[in-house]
Structure 1
């Protein structure tokens, strides 16, 4: 039996660069696991229901989200529940792999040990998602061996700008924003207005993230064969 197709479900963005980044991630994953399709829960299509209907076969659905809030619990799981052959994996985050990539992105942006760090997340009204962001910040703090503040781009407090100002008020001479976003888009662009000394690139198409998505698929694929 062939491995089930992978459906990578992202939020969606009006940024062509962001859409291209998700497509590139799917292409890189497909080289590892076979057929990989992309779906979006907002802004643009196709929707998860559209893709799963077209496949009409067992599928592994991987939520390309860094925290599990409304979109994961309602949109992704709700769509997959309509298709008996679909298995939903955990979201990409929180995961130690993401902390490792965040550290690499910080170094690329010019961060050095001791510079203050703000983890910039999209935010959510769902407490489960906010708890996931706190876990991610703790993982990064452990890896960096220093405090990591949290700031939110869209929903939640403190904002990224407030978190940067808070770090400076506490005496930090340099502050770096670690973009806890998967792809380019409006949210990422907003980070450059936060007053930090540097902003990392989104997590993006990193080999470790490709490995993470592929591992999510491979573990769940077993369930589609049972």
Structure 2
């Protein structure tokens, strides 16, 4: 079983994106797929895992950076579920597959060569998560052939509004390093840029990344079972 563990948002559009992603994953694999949330929305991850104890469960964190929820909250919820055969896969992170989606969304929004580019991310107090955002910005810059600034919708600095202001002097385009609409995307849209891309959303490459993370975790489970005594 695949359990997509998303952050959660009060914006119903964000929840619809996660459900649509789950539907696309179901269409691509015979493996059962469930949705759970680490915060804000229900059902919580521990609740979902508690209802599927008869399945081997791979929890795929639908997160673009490895902050608190990925490193602490999700493992704690897996432990609280008392599911004996559940494992967390790697989060999305700055996966190369997603950088192409990022560029596609940016170009569709109206980006032109010569625009200043700002990558908008959610933000985190975890320096490792912020380092992953910087990796995503550098990979996008390599694709576009330009330097890419980073701005945050919450928690970290510089704020997205400050990053846009510093990039002024030419047209400014924001690439959204967010998965779904919600409060953070609204802040990005209001940051004063000339071009604002949509979040990554449901895309074939996002679906394939879910399956890749699942397969990787499955291989690790198989190896661990083979090495277990007896």
Decide: shared fold, TM above 0.5: yes
Q: State the partner residue of 2:25.
A: 29
Counterpart mapping for 1:117-196 below 5 A: 117-168=117-168, 171=169, 173-196=170-193
Q: State the partner residue of 1:13.
A: 9
1:202 counterpart = 2:194: no
Following the alignment from structure 2 to structure 1, what is the Cα–Cα distance between the partners of residues 217 and 40? 28
Following the alignment from structure 2 to structure 1, what is the Cα–Cα distance between the partners of residues 41 and 12? 11
Preserved CA contact (<8 Å) 1:63 1:89:
yes
Q: State the partner residue of 1:214.
A: 211
How many residues get paired?
A: 219
Following the alignment from structure 1 to structure 2, what is the Cα–Cα distance between the partners of residues 139 and 90? 19
Preserved CA contact (<8 Å) 1:179 1:203:
yes
Preserved CA contact (<8 Å) 1:86 1:224:
no
**Cα deviation 1:202-223 (Å, max 9, x = unaligned):** 1000111111111111221233
Give secondary structure in 2 for the equivalent of 1:205.
Answer: coil
**Cα deviation 1:80-103 (Å, max 9, x = unaligned):** 244331121111111111111000
Structure 1 position 193, deviation (Å): 1.3
Q: State the partner residue of 1:75.
A: 73
Following the alignment from structure 1 to structure 2, what is the Cα–Cα distance between the partners of residues 90 and 67? 10
Following the alignment from structure 1 to structure 2, what is the Cα–Cα distance between the partners of residues 131 and 38? 28
Q: State the partner residue of 1:63.
A: 61
Give secondary structure in 1 for the equivalent of 2:214.
Answer: helix
Following the alignment from structure 2 to structure 1, what is the Cα–Cα distance between the partners of residues 160 and 98? 19
RMSD (Å) for aligned C-alpha atoms: 1.1
Structure 1 position 136, deviation (Å): 1.0
Following the alignment from structure 1 to structure 2, what is the Cα–Cα distance between the partners of residues 25 and 79? 22
Following the alignment from structure 2 to structure 1, what is the Cα–Cα distance between the partners of residues 166 and 92? 29
Following the alignment from structure 1 to structure 2, what is the Cα–Cα distance between the partners of residues 223 and 52? 19
1:54 counterpart = 2:51: yes
Structure 2 segments unaligned to the other structure (5+ residues): 226-230
The equivalent position to 2:36 in structure 1, one of 39, 42, 51, is 39
Give secondary structure in 1 for the equivalent of 2:139.
Answer: helix
Following the alignment from structure 1 to structure 2, what is the Cα–Cα distance between the partners of residues 179 and 118? 9
